[in-house]
Amino acid sequence: MTTPPRLSSSTSPLEPFCPDCHAEIGHVHHEWCDVARCLATGLQRHGHDLETCRCPRDKWSGWWPGEAECIEFGWLYGSGLPDLNRLMTTATWDPVAHRWSRPDHQTSADRDTTVEGEPR
Ligand SMILES: [Zn+2]
Ligand SMILES: [Zn+2]
């Protein structure tokens, strides 16, 4: 058993190992891993349709699934925690790029700044 070295001064949120199956960055998750995503839907791989789903094996990227997109979109809670709920409910999974994309592709509008009073 080896303990991964902890870089106390590091500000990078990258996790060297999957917190569930301990796959290294760039390595595929184990079959049973709850963190692995179904690359066809973006949802938990654990529970995708084994009969019909042909998604490739997901790899641990060093980020919690969706975390990088949350940061990129600016969907964060006050302290910088990624708002994964919002990602799941508002973003669209891109099965080709294997990542979340914003639901609206409005480039000229500034609506992104008005996120405070979200309707439930
Ligand atoms: Zn894993
Ligand atoms: Zn799948």
DSSP string, 2-49: -PPPP-TT------SB-TTT-PBTTSBPPTT-SSPBPTTTSSBSTTS-
Question: What is the model's pLDDT at position 27?
Answer: 98
Phi-psi region of 111 (alpha: psi -120 to 50; beta: other; left: phi over 0): alpha
Top pLDDT among 87 and 115 is at 87
Is 88's pLDDT higher than 60? yes
The model's confidence at residue 10, banded by pLDDT at 50, 70 and 90, is very low
The whole-angstrom separation of Cα 99 and Cα 93 is 6
Residues 63, 8 contacting (CB under 8 angstroms): no
How many Cβ atoms from other residues are within 10 Å of residue 63's Cβ? Answer: 16
Ligand nearest to the CA of 30: 1
Distance, CA 46 to ligand 2 centroid (Å)?
Answer: 8
Top pLDDT among 97 and 8 is at 97
Distance, CA 39 to ligand 1 centroid (Å)?
Answer: 14
Is 116's pLDDT higher than 80? no
Residues 53, 39 contacting (CB under 8 angstroms): no
Task: Provide the whole-model pTM.
Answer: 0.71
Q: What mean pLDDT value characterizes the chain?
A: 84
The whole-angstrom separation of Cα 39 and Cα 57 is 7
Ligand nearest to the CA of 52: 2
